Every structure is written in structure tokens, then in C-alpha cells.
């Protein structure tokens, strides 16, 4: 961003706190401050920059803090933002307008923004300060819980004090750590702030079925240590009904309190129940100091959700740039999945409005509960609760305060009316996290946003919790946007539909497929796509017959074309394993053909600079020592990376190398819509970086955790947990199903991460398909993978045995013995680099320069 304000004329905004809301404020201010009026100094007492605290539970099992990092949280390219990690604000001198830090520094400010958030309330229960007692707020808290749970061992009991939203999140974390969670809630039901008695009863039954022990209507009297106890039961937790629970640890999640001490210390007004008092512009009793997020009591009210926190951040950014933004009130609606159970609450969920009526549908057999709260004439929607099935949330929440488009009962009945986007007025809020209206979304669609990604980019709707994405799809459809699924101008069908056609009809040539189901002669989009489909549905060689003409350059020569016209050679090394003789042969080949050698990130060796006519000679040498094609050229499985696992590593919990070799040999040669990378880590330390792969396997004490949908590339994605603690057989069965379902249904060149995101229902739907077989296709998917495994043959070995295929590997058809004279190289230190046609010879810096 270009600055037009001189450095000595800039004002300084100091931000105390770098949570989600503090980060949002900095982003908002910097994106709007085009003139560079403000420089920002951020004080963060945590060792890590802003991360997704709402998604804290996703840290469990992964133990990778970077997976929760908020985009742009280090401001590395912004010279007007200074982030001081591990540096706490100690005191505020309001008269001098300065902040003193824990490092002893003094920072002057023109505006001070308090984004201190909240802290976990710990009731004064005797024993609450024992080492085995924790709160559930930060990554460091989870690391401590994990260490104690690991020492206690599988099945040990963990007690969670508090059965609200965060309490159930904490219980789920303990469950994922292999513990047996007990939840203690003082109120008569779980999640008392969000749901009513009926919803609480259904929720309790559902979570109990999942292995939680629930104690409602009781408090915690004391926590004592047992002198002769084992690590799995060091604590004796006594409840108010005299129930005693032997536990390994206790997690307090009994609510939060605003962190307002620094404001109290400098004389800023705070509320009688805590919170820094602000006006609607988020200004405190000191006109130079603002408060945002959970620490702010806007006109006396604190809001504990991230969406209103984001709104406060945006308002203060506006105010500092001369605006007059005011807090519009907060939508306290919530939609989440707790332990796999849908829970949603919106509007006046408890029916506190005078004259309010309730319409309830309670299906105990299906485990669902739905309630709508309406006005006394049943015409206006006031709020609602959904437990067990929250699919109607995105349609109902925007209608709060508005006339109902149908009978209340019909809106929550499975056989009732389905709300369309046309039932909502333009000012209805679709995305509560980012305060985006239906009108703003429709405006973006009219301006050319023709898909979900386009709407997200233009409006920010759907970029936070994602709960509004189903409504975004409805708005796209009802705005008349035709979301074409055609593969190209020659096929009106999508790739998935063409896959089905090939599978059902048995068509085995491109010419037959386009003659019957397409038009024209094809193009460089549909030809390689159909070639991939044909390869995925049989074990025919990709250079057999008509198929050879369909391939792109890489597949045509079974090698990656490089920038100077040479090719790379990448032999497969399953799991990174290689014999001494194979290494010797690779070295001899590299020396004989003068190739550049590089070890890849996927535990293989890349040989660069081979001319096309040299490829068969090189591969003959490699095949003779038992090496196969690594498929670095194809849209197929590349590698299965691994650490050394339990075979060598003292931390390893399972044989990661053995599993990686098994998986690589099973899926080698599998053609797919895009390249596939897998990894197997032998423990949670994750040395193989499995969560950055399309399929990641991480060893646990009890088996394997299976993660799916991780990708590198322009938009890196971490894989998400599909299933945990699997034995070998179940793990392979689930991977078979997942990969084959992806191969059959993904779009052309669509990697697994965007494919998963595009699926209606996302990872939850995938779990139902892969693990629960809701579509009834599991046997078919497994059979298809078994057919691939049985039919696999190394592509280069087949070429070497076929004179017709070998004949294509020449630089000049009319002079097959001649090499391409345009290919040349430069030597730079120990590196061999290609010289490009039409480009001057430019020296390449060596590693020491």
C-alpha cells in the first residue's frame, strides 16, 4: 500500500491484545487507510500471533499451531504494523498517553485499542489450583491437557466443569485424546444459554450415546488428591450430590469474564459485572481509548461471540479514519457441531418476548428437536432452536423479526415447505460473521460473481464459520446464474458425468465417446480428461492405440518436460526406501548421461536434463535394478512420504514406513483428476507433514488417524480428520473408498481440498459416504480399487517391452539417431542449469553467494 503521509506526521495506534478481534481491527484499519495515516503497534502476551480460537478443538490430534493461524497474522509485508509477541501491556498512563510493557518499553499512542478479550472463570472450588486442573482457552492450555492425558493413559477419566458450549468442546477434546469425559453442569440441562429443556434433553441423549457421562443439576464441591493413586486417577472429584469421580484431570469451562483489569488500574470506567464501558462508537470513558471484542461492554452489555467482536473492530477502524460508525446491536445466533451433533440457536430462542408462542417438533426416534418462537399472532419469526439437524438454520435465521413465508410447523417439518432465497428481503443479514446482507450478495452476483468463490471474494460472506454457504448457493441459483457443469465446448457433461458414462457403457475410445455423447473433434481440455477417465477405469497402457494421441506432453513421453526441452526422470521409492544397489545405479545413470541430481521433498531422487531419446536407455538401467516409474508426469499418485516410525524412532507409535510402502504400492499408477500426495507419520510429532497431503495418516497409540483434503499449491490447505484410531484393515478400506469416490466425482484438475469444500455437507458428508456408506456404494468403490491394484503394471517396463511404443522416443522422426542441437547447459559451481533458447547466458548464483 502506497503511503502519502510523511512518517513524522503519522499517528500511532497501540493495540493491546492479538486475538481474532484484535487482528480483525488491524486488517480493517490497514485495508482502509490508503494514505497511511496510522502506524500500528500490537502487544500480545501470547507467544503466537493471532489464531482461530473458535476452532481451538481442531488443534487436538493435529498439534500443529500453524493450522489455526489466521491469514496475514504476522504482517510481514506491512511496514506500518509492528507485532510484539510475548510482550504484555503492564500499565497505561492516560495523561501522558503511553503504555508500559512487560519488556520495560514505553510506547506513546494517539489512540489506544483494548482488545484484551476474556479469561476463563474458575469457581473457588477447594483444589481448583492443583496441577491437574486446567482451563480451556489457549493452545498452551491444550498442550498441558494433552501432557496429563498422555501420562494418564487410554480410558482415564477427565472431568469438565461446565456444560455450556465451551464445556462440550472441552469434553470432545478429552474424548479425542482417548479419555472418558464426565461433564458437570450446574443447570438442569446442557448449553442452558443457547437451548431450552427439550433441546437439552435431546442433546444430552445424543452426547451420552457418544460416550460422555453427563451430570446436570449438580455443582462441584471439592477436588482432592489421592496419595496412593495412579496417574489415571490421581484426583477425587466430589459433586454436590455426593457423587465421587476418580479422575486424572479436571477442565474448568464454567464461563468467561471480560479481561478489564488494565482498564480498572488506570481509572477507565468498567461495568458492575465487569467489562470496559463504551458508547456505540466503542469509545471508553477516555476519548483516546477504545475497547473491542469480549472485553467491551457496549452501553453496558458484553458480547461473547466472535461476530459482534468483528463488528466492534470494524467500527473502531472506521472511527480512527474519520467515520461515524456505531454498533448496530448483535446477532447472538450460533450454529455449531458438537461431538458430531448439530446445534443451532437464533433470535429469541427462549421465548422471552411478551406473548411469544412456541411451535415444537420433537422426534425422539430420529434424535432431532426443532422449535420456532413466533409472535402472538404467529406471523413474525422471533427465534428458534435446532438440535440434531440444523440444515434449516441458514434459511430461518435471516427471517428473525420478519413475517413468516409459511406456517411455522411447515418450516421445521421434514415434509413441510422449503424456504427459498426469494423469501428474504434485500436487507436480511445472510452472513452474521461479516454482516453481509442478501442485497450485497445479489449485487456482487449482478456484477459478475458467478460462483461461491467469487461471492466470497467480493463480499467476505462465508469466509468465517461457513454457515451461510448453503444460502449463498441458493442466491446464486435464484439470481439466474447458470453454473455450467460442461467440461468444455465439446461435452455438455461434467467430468463426473462422463466418468459414469464410460463406466456404464463400456466405451473405451475417445472417438466413440465424442461421437455418441459430444460434438466436434475435441480439444486440449477434453482429450486428456477423457484419457484420464479411460485410464482410471481399466488397466490399459496409456500409450496403447488411440489413447496415446490424447495425452498431454508429459504423459505422451512418460516424463516431465522441463523449460529447455529436456525431461526429468523420477523413479519410485515407496515410503522413501531405496536399496544400496538402486542408489548406485541412479548415480551411475546420472554420471553417464550427465544429469542434474536433486533430492525431492517427497523422498525421491530427481534426475534432470535427459533428452527424449535417452529416456528408454535410462529407464532400462533403472528397471533392471527393480525400480519403477514414479509418475511425476501424471495426474496420479506421486509419493507417500514417511518418517522412520516405530522401527527406528524412540517416539514412534506405529510402523509408518511399512504403512507408507504398503499404501504407495497399492495406489501407484492410480489416475485421478489431479495429482495425489500421501504421507504417513509415526506419531503426533508429524515429521512426514501428513496434514499437508491429500491423504494423511498419523499414528496413535491405538492405530491410525486418517486426514483427508490437504493440498499445497497457491492456496495451501490442511487436511481434516475423517476417522480416528483405525486398525490397518479399516484404514486401507477407508482410503480406498475416499480415493475412488474422488476419482469418480471430482471436476477436471480439481484437487481434493476444493473438491471436499464443494461437496454439499463437506467433511461431514464425506464421513457418511466413506465411513457409514450412506450411498450404498462402498463395496463398488472397494472393488474398483481392487481391480486397479490387480491390473497395475509399471508403465516404463511396458514401454521397454514394446517396439512400437519405443519408436516415439526420438527428437526427430526422420533422423531418430540425432540429438536436439538446441539443448545446452551452463555449469555454475556444482550446479548444472539449462540454457533457454533466445535468452542470454545469465550466471546463476551459487549457494555461497
Task: Give the pLDDT confidence score for residue 11 in this predicted structure.
Answer: 96
pLDDT for the residue 847: 30
- Distance separating alpha carbons of residues 387 and 194, to the nearest angstrom: 11
Tell me how crowded residue 690 is: count the other CB atoms within 10 A of its CB.
31
Mean pLDDT of 698-713: 90
CATH class (in words) of the domain with range 421-483? mainly alpha
Three cell numbers, residue 508: 473405451
In CATH terms, the superfamily for domain 133-254 is FAD/NAD(P)-binding domain (3.50.50.60)
- pLDDT tens-place string over residues 247-294: 999 999 988 899 999 999 999 999 998 999 999 999 999 999 999 999
At 801-815, the pLDDT tens digits run 988 888 878 765 444
The contacts of residue 35 (CB under 8 Å, 6+ apart) are 3, 4, 5
Contact between 773 and 782 (Cβ < 8 Å): no
pLDDT surpassing 60 at residue 846 = no
pLDDT number for residue 849? 27
- Mean pLDDT, residues 770-793: 93
Most confident of 339-343, 344-348, 488-492, 675-679: 675-679
Neighbours of 108 (CB within 10 A): 12
pLDDT over 50 (residue 303): yes
The answer to whether 370 touches 384, Cβ cutoff 8 Å, is: yes
Same fold: 7-119+258-320 with 133-254? yes
Query: Which pLDDT score is estimated for 449?
Result: 82
Residue 421: band (very low, low, confident or very high) from pLDDT cuts 50, 70, 90: low
Write b or e for each residue in 590-618: b if 16 or more Cβ atoms lie within 10 A of its Cβ, otherwise e: beebebbeeebebbbbbbbbbbbbbbbeb
Q: Residue 822 above 70 pLDDT? A: no
**838: confidence class by pLDDT, cuts 50, 70, 90:** very low
Pairing relation of β-strands 695-700 and 676-681?
parallel
Average pLDDT, integer, range 90-108: 96
Q: Other C-beta atoms within 10 Å of 764: how many?
A: 12
- Residue 106: is it exposed, middle or buried by C-beta count within 10 angstroms (0-12/13-18/19+)? exposed
Please state which of the ranges 166-180, 686-700, 775-789 shows the lowest mean pLDDT: 166-180
Q: In degrees, to the nearest 5, what angle opens at C-alpha 338 toward C-alphas 302 and 211?
A: 130
pLDDT tens digits for 116-129?
999 999 999 999 99
- Residue 575 phi, psi dihedral angles, 5° rounding: 65, 15
CATH number of 7-119+258-320: 3.50.50.60
In the predicted structure, residue 752 carries a pLDDT above the cut 60: yes
Q: What is the pLDDT of residue 811?
A: 66
- Residues 445-459 have a mean pLDDT of 81
Q: What is the pLDDT of residue 6?
A: 83
Answer yes or no: is pLDDT of 662 > 90.
yes
Of 252-256, 511-515, 554-558, which range is least confident?
A: 554-558
The answer to whether the CB of 574 falls within 8 A of the CB of 664 is yes
* Cell 526427430 found at: 812
479: three-class secondary structure by DSSP? coil
Q: How far apart are CA 138 and CA 638, in angstroms?
A: 37
111/29 Cα distance (integer angstroms): 12
pLDDT at site 714: 59
- Of 228 and 308, the structure prediction assigns the larger pLDDT to 308
Task: Report, as an integer, the average pLDDT of 745-755.
Answer: 89
How far is Cα 1 from Cα 38, in angstroms, rounded to an integer? 12
Domain ranges in the chain are 7-119+258-320, 133-254, 333-419, 421-483, 495-551
Which is it for strands 220-225 and 235-239: parallel, antiparallel or unpaired?
antiparallel
Average pLDDT in the 315-343 region?
Answer: 84
Averaged pLDDT for residues 606-628? 91
Which of the four CATH numbers 3.30.565.10, 3.30.230.10, 1.10.357.10, 3.30.390.30 does domain 333-419 have? 3.30.390.30
Residue whose entry in the numeric block shows the C-alpha cell 458430531? 340
pLDDT digits (tens, 9 = 90+) for 200-250: 898 998 888 878 899 999 999 999 998 777 777 789 999 999 999 999 999
**306 vs 824, which has greater pLDDT?**
306
Helix axes 728-745, 762-770, angle to 10 degrees: 120
Angle in degrees, 0-180, between the axes of helices 139-152 and 165-176, rounded to the nearest 10? 40
Confidence of residue 848 (pLDDT cuts 50, 70, 90): very low
- Cβ burial 229-259 (10 Å sphere, 16+ → b, else e): eeebebbbbbbeeeeebbbbbbbbbbbbbbb
Share of the chain above pLDDT 90, in %: 47
| CA-based nearest residue to 454, from 467, 465, 464, 443 | 443
How far apart are the C-alpha atoms of 362 and 340, rounded to whole Å? 19
Amino acid at each position: 500500500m502506497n503511503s502519502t503521509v510523511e512518517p513524522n506526521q503519522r499517528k500511532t495506534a497501540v493495540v493491546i491484545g492479538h486475538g481474532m478481534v484484535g487482528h480483525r481491527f488491524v486488517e480493517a484499519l490497514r485495508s482502509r487507510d490508503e494514505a497511511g495515516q496510522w502506524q500500528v503497534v500490537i502487544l500480545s502476551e501470547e507467544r503466537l500471533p493471532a489464531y482461530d480460537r473458535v476452532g481451538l478443538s481442531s488443534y487436538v490430534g493435529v498439534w500443529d499451531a500453524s493450522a489455526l493461524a489466521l491469514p496475514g497474522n504476522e504482517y510481514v509485508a506491512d511496514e506500518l504494523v509492528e507485532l510484539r509477541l510475548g510482550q504484555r501491556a503492564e500499565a497505561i498512563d492516560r495523561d501522558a498517553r503511553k503504555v508500559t510493557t512487560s519488556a520495560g518499553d514505553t510506547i506513546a499512542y494517539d489512540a489506544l485499542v483494548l482488545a484484551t478479550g476474556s479469561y476463563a472463570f474458575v469457581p473457588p472450588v477447594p483444589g481448583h489450583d492443583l496441577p491437574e486442573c486446567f482451563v480451556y482457552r489457549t493452545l498452551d492450555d491444550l498442550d498441558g491437557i494433552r501432557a496429563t492425558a498422555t501420562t494418564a493413559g487410554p480410558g482415564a477419566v477427565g472431568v469438565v466443569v461446565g456444560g455450556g458450549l465451551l464445556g462440550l468442546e472441552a469434553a470432545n477434546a478429552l474424548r479425542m485424546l482417548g479419555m472418558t469425559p464426565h461433564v458437570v453442569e450446574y443447570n438442569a440441562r446442557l448449553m442452558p444459554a443457547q437451548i431450552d429443556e427439550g433441546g437439552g434433553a435431546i442433546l444430552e441423549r445424543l452426547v451420552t450415546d457418544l460416550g460422555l457421562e453427563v451430570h446436570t443439576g449438580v455443582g462441584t464441591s471439592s477436588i482432592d488428591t489421592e496419595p496412593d493413586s495412579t496417574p489415571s486417577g490421581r484426583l477425587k472429584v466430589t459433586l454436590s450430590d455426593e457423587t465421587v469421580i476418580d479422575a486424572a484431570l479436571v477442565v474448568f469451562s464454567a464461563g468467561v469474564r471480560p479481561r478489564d483489569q488494565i482498564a480498572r488500574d488506570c481509572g477507565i470506567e468498567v461495568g458492575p459485572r465487569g467489562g470496559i464501558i463504551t458508547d456505540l462508537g466503542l469509545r471508553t470513558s477516555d476519548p483516546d481509548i477504545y475497547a473491542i471484542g469480549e472485553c467491551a461492554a457496549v452501553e453496558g452489555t458484553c458480547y461473547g461471540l466472535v461476530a459482534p467482536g468483528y463488528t466492534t473492530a470494524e467500527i473502531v477502524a472506521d472511527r480512527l479514519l474519520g467515520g461515524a460508525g456505531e454498533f448496530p446491536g448483535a446477532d447472538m445466533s450460533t450454529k455449531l457441531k458438537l461431538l458430531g451433533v448439530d446445534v443451532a440457536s437464533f433470535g429469541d430462542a427462549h421465548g422471552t418476548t411478551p406473548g411469544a408462542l412456541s411451535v415444537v417438533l420433537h422426534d425422539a426416534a430420529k434424535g432431532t428437536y426443532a422449535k420456532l418462537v413466533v409472535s402472538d399472532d404467529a406471523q413474525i419469526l422471533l427465534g428458534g432452536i435446532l438440535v440434531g439437524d440444523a440444515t434449516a438454520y441458514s434459511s430461518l435465521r435471516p427471517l428473525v423479526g420478519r413475517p413468516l413465508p409459511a406456517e411455522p410447523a411447515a418450516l421445521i417439518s421434514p415434509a413441510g415447505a422449503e424456504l427459498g432465497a426469494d423469501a428474504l428481503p434485500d436487507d436480511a443479514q445472510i452472513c452474521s460473521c461479516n454482516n453481509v446482507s442478501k442485497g450485497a450478495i445479489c449485487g456482487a452476483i449482478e456484477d459478475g460473481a458467478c460462483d461461491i468463490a467469487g461471492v466470497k471474494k467480493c463480499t467476505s460472506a462465508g469466509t468465517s464459520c461457513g454457515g451461510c454457504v448453503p444460502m449463498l448457493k441458493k442466491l446464486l441459483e435464484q439470481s439466474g446464474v447458470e453454473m455450467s457443469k460442461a467440461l468444455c465446448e465439446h461435452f455438455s457433461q461434467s467430468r463426473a458425468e462422463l466418468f459414469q458414462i464410460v463406466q456404464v457403457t463400456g466405451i473405451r475410445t475417445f472417438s466413440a465417446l465424442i461421437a455418441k455423447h459430444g460434438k466436434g473433434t475435441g480439444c486440449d481440455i477434453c482429450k486428456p480428461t477423457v484419457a484420464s477417465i479411460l485410464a482410471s477405469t481399466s488397466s490399459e497402457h496409456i500409450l496403447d492405440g488411440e489413447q496415446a494421441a490424447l495425452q498431454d506432453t508429459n504423459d505422451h513421453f512418460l516424463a516431465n518436460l522441463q523449460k529447455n526441452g529436456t525431461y526429468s526422470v523420477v523413479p519410485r521409492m515407496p515410503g522413501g526406501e531405496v536399496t544400496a544397489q538402486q542408489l548406485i545405479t541412479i548415480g551411475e545413470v546420472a554420471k553417464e548421461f550427465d544429469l542434474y541430481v536433486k533430492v525431492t521433498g517427497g523422498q525421491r531422487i530427481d534426475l534432470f536434463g535427459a533428452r527424449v531419446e535417452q529416456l528408454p536407455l535410462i529407464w532400462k538401467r533403472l528397471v533392471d535394478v527393480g525400480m519403477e516409474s514414479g509418475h511425476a508426469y501424471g495426474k496420479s499418485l506421486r509419493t507417500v512420504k514417511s518418517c522412520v516410525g516405530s522401527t527406528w524412532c524412540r517416539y514412534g507409535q506405529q510402523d509408518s514406513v511399512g504403512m507408507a510402502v504398503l499404501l504407495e504400492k497399492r495406489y501407484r499408477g492410480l489416475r485421478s483428476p489431479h495429482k495425489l500426495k500421501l504421507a504417513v507419520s509415526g506419531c503426533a510429532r508429524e515429521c512426514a507433514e501428513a496434514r499437508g497431503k491429500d491423504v494423511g495418516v498419523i499414528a496413535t497409540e491405538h492405530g491410525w488417524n486418517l486426514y483427508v483434503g490437504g493440498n499445497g499449491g497457491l492456496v495451501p490447505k490442511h487436511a481434516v480428520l475423517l476417522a480416528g484410531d483405525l486398525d490397518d484393515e479399516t484404514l486401507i478400506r477407508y482410503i480406498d473408498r475416499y480415493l475412488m469416490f474422488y476419482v469418480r466425482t471430482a471436476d477436471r484438475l480439481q484437487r481434493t481440498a476444493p473438491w471436499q469444500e464443494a461437496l454439499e455437507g463437506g467433511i461431514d458428508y464425506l464421513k457418511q459416504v466413506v465411513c457409514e456408506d450412506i450411498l450404498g456404494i462402498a463395496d463398488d468403490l472397494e472393488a474398483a480399487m481392487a481391480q486397479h491394484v490387480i491390473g497395475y503394471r509399471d508403465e516404463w517396463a511396458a514401454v521397454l517391452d514394446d517396439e512400437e511404443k519405443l519408436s516415439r522416443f526420438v527428437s526427430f522422426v526422420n533422423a531418430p539417431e540425432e540429438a536436439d542441437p538446441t539443448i545446452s547447459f551452463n555449469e555454475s559451481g556444482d550446479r548444472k542449469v539449462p540454457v533457454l533458447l533466445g535468452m542470454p547466458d545469465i550466471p546463476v548464483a551459487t549457494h555461497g553467494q
